[in-house]
Structure 1
Amino acid sequence: MITVDRPVALADEPVHIRVTHLAPQGRIVVHSSATAYDGQAWKAKATFAADEDGVVDLTTSRPESGTYHNVDGMGLLSSMRPPSGDPNLASFAPLYPDLAPSFNVRITVTAHGRSLADRTLTRVWAKPGVRSTDLSLAHDKVVGKLFLPPPGAPRHPGVLAFGGSEGGISMKFEAALLASHGYPTLALGYFRVPGLPTTLHDIPLEYFATAARLLAAQPSTDPAHIIAIGYSRGSEAALLLAEDYPQLVHGTVVYSPSSRVIPGFPHGGNAWTYQGQPVPQNLISLDHLSGPLLSIAGDDDALWASPASARQIAAQLDAIHDRYPHQTLIYPGAGHGVGTFPYLPRAISVINPTTGQKTELGGTRASDAAARQKGWPHVLSFLANTPH
């Protein structure tokens, strides 16, 4: 028998899986499978020995062999692999949450090639009542996807979330999950979307400010607490936004950050502008922040020196701020893919859609998965502890 404490749960929430009524100290194989957006079935497995009571508790049991090797109650999800090819090059991608608010993972137990039990987990992107709206340049002056908690929900901090050099609207899954936790979230595109630049070049900070104001105007948003979450190149924009618009942005989370403004991508030139002028390619000043900051990096980042940048950001804040807290988390063995939410397998080498070129991110799938599992609760705590 397979018991699960929460067969239906948010995709970023852990579940407790136990297999009972087994032969004492008997060996079993626990399998997982889920279907990606392209119809491919991803799978994982782990072999365990039951205890004297005939129980295997995945939260406390170390697999003898399989697709993961350490004690990890959610290892059967984060270690799933595609049916072919190098798993280091592939990320599991379900349908976007506006198309399918959940996806299923089937758990099966076998012994000596015989099926003993199976159970389906439903992993939810958007709780019932969460609404999503496409934002267009013509109608809203920004391009993105706005996810709002159910009507009547109390006001919470709003989150403006955006990615890096991949462009597009890259944080829809995060936005759906955060809205399901109660936080109105706008997944913003700022280049490589219709009507905007095709590359990261001369992007006005005023564009991000327009998005933040739109988010602040939502009935479920506490306008006094807007949080910017920026990943990779987006970390520059998040820090600049918090510095130049302290009355608008009141907290910052940066993943795999840069502490400096660096050239545009991929052709150089200026990445950002402010008030019609290029933002200098210098260390980003943090003199005017009006809220807390959380910085997350992996110490094996192969794309750029994000751990050094995270430490530089902390050093600046140590020197000039005593009003607002800041925290730096650097995870051992993790690469540029250190964030965001956990429990899905992700690549450590990707094809950047802006350039079409292969990019090594560093780290390992296992170390990145462990970092996301530890880091995401810090982000949720950061938001929960922002006054509202």
Structure 2
Amino acid sequence: MGERTARWICAVAATALIGAGTSGCSDLDSHALLEVDARVALADQAVHMRVSGLSPGGEVTVTSRAVDRKGMPWHGQATFRADRHGLVTLDTATPTSGTYRRPDGMGLFWSMVPRTGDPDHTSFVPPASRHHAYDVTLTATAHGHRFASRTVTREWFATGVTGRRLTVASDKVSGSLYLPNPGTVQHPAVLVFGGSEGGNSSETAAALLASHGYPALALGYFDLPGLPHSLENIPLEYFATAARLLAAQPEVDPRHILVMGYSRGSEAALLLADDYPGLVHGAVVYSPSAQVNGGIPHYSTAAWTKDGEPVADGLIPLNHVSGPVMAIAGSDDHLWTSTLWAQQIVEELDACGNRYPHHALIYPHAGHGVGTFPYLAAGTRYPLTGREIDLGGTRAGNAAAQEAGWHRVLALLASLGP
């Protein structure tokens, strides 16, 4: 064991880690510790854990536990063998058994399963909290003895981030506006919206974007007070109004307003990027479509309108797009052909001679649930009245895609400055 490693173990143990026996570091073999590098972190940020002071080759089980919004306990579990130094580093260790099976430092978070029910048929929804956070308790057990426990807090808001509800009556749009710490320099901003689920499903993603310094407006466009009841005849001008409201914020660099649309929302995002190139400067689309589809529930009705006229079904033109485009899809999407459409979007931008970066990110073993932010346990089926929709992919595949894709989105925003 190197001197730097030993110093790190002592420092972590001295700053509040809970272990068995005394707090000294002179006898690591007899004083096992569960070490966590971040007691509090944003919900989309990884924490790094390891167990030290074990016997070489010794077995240890680490569990996670959290309670969802309905009061249902969820748990994750992984059993490991210590290396010759008596260490288990969760970032690189392969579980011998548990709720996930490959090396993954955040596996205990995304692989949690409910106390009852099939995890593929449900998702962990954190409890509502005035502190905008939820807790996950980590516990380490060896030889049937629980020797360490640690609670980590997962936050939706960084310090200084503010949120404000928007209503049709007062703001002409329905949503939530999240802004980073006042007084920061202007940053790229994101208009975020979901798909056919309706309501405002993108609030947590928008709050996390603002926590990374990027102002974000989570927008609802149907099935909310003052809005249409269904995904039919939604004016693109409504989205443009929201983009202008976002661009007017002092924290926003109006040269870099991106739209982020999921599933059916990808159609609106691409239409906005092409129809309003002076306002919208690129798009991120998850599980996208390259074409305009009909309304829901009446497919013969237009989903979108422009200047009071229906936007016709068919391929979405992209020849006026004035910013980067990132199309993110899972290779096992069972809902629709998002993989082919993501590739088609990039091919069309190539054919248009688009000079901005544009990429299709296709993730293996992921389905329609390929995005957005990572580390929340989520199923692969979506419940509807009287039936379920198979979204495809595996929980592990979606988790890996969410982590990789979200990092690419943040890197794209960072590349736009400052």
Query: How big is each residue's C-alpha offset from its partner over 1:164-218, in whole Å with a ceiling of 9 and x where there is no partner?
Result: 0000000011011000000110000000111111110000000000000000011
Tell me, yes or no, if structure 1 residue 370 matches structure 2 residue 403: no
CA apart distance, 1:141: 0.2
Tell me, yes or no, if structure 1 residue 193 matches structure 2 residue 219: no
- Answer yes or no: is the 8 Å Cα contact 2:321–2:354 preserved in 1: no
CA distance in 1 between counterparts of 2:379 and 2:81 reads: 30
- Give SS of 1:254's match: strand
Q: CA RMSD in A?
A: 1.1
Match of 2:153 among 122, 128, 139: 122
- Give SS of 1:328's match: strand
Structure 1 unpaired stretches of 5+? none
**Map of 1:171 onto structure 2:** 202
CA distance in 1 between counterparts of 2:354 and 2:298 reads: 39
Match of 1:91 among 123, 130, 133: 123
CA distance in 2 between counterparts of 1:196 and 1:322 reads: 35
Match of 1:33 among 65, 90, 101: 65
CA apart distance, 1:323: 1.5
- Answer yes or no: is the 8 Å Cα contact 1:96–1:173 preserved in 2: no
CA apart distance, 1:89: 0.8
Match of 2:345 among 284, 295, 313: 313
- Answer yes or no: is the 8 Å Cα contact 2:67–2:127 preserved in 1: no
**Map of 1:110 onto structure 2:** 141
Q: Which amino acid aligns with 1:176?
A: A
Q: Which has the higher contact order (CA 8 A, sep 6+)?
A: 1
TM-score (ref. length: structure 2)? 0.90
CA distance in 2 between counterparts of 1:152 and 1:38 reads: 38
Report the more deviating stretch, 183-192 or 316-325. Answer: 316-325
CA distance in 2 between counterparts of 1:31 and 1:387 reads: 40
**Map of 2:107 onto structure 1:** 75
- Give SS of 1:225's match: strand
- Answer yes or no: is the 8 Å Cα contact 1:101–1:127 preserved in 2: no
Query: How big is each residue's C-alpha offset from its partner over 1:42-95, in whole Å with a ceiling of 9 and x where there is no partner?
Result: 100000011121111001100000000001010000100111001001111113
CA distance in 2 between counterparts of 1:95 and 1:65 reads: 29
**Map of 1:253 onto structure 2:** 284
Structure 2 unpaired stretches of 5+? 1-32
**Map of 1:242 onto structure 2:** 273
- Give SS of 1:209's match: helix
Match of 2:295 among 252, 264, 281: 264
Tell me, yes or no, if structure 1 residue 381 matches structure 2 residue 411: yes
- Give SS of 1:33's match: strand
- Give SS of 1:375's match: helix
CA distance in 2 between counterparts of 1:280 and 1:387 reads: 36
**Map of 1:161 onto structure 2:** 192
CA apart distance, 1:373: 1.3
CA apart distance, 1:321: 2.2
CA distance in 1 between counterparts of 2:268 and 2:127 reads: 28
Moved over 2 A (4+): none
Please say which structure displays the higher CA radius of gyration: 2
- Give SS of 2:108's match: helix
CA distance in 2 between counterparts of 1:100 and 1:270 reads: 41
**Map of 1:183 onto structure 2:** 214
CA apart distance, 1:146: 0.8
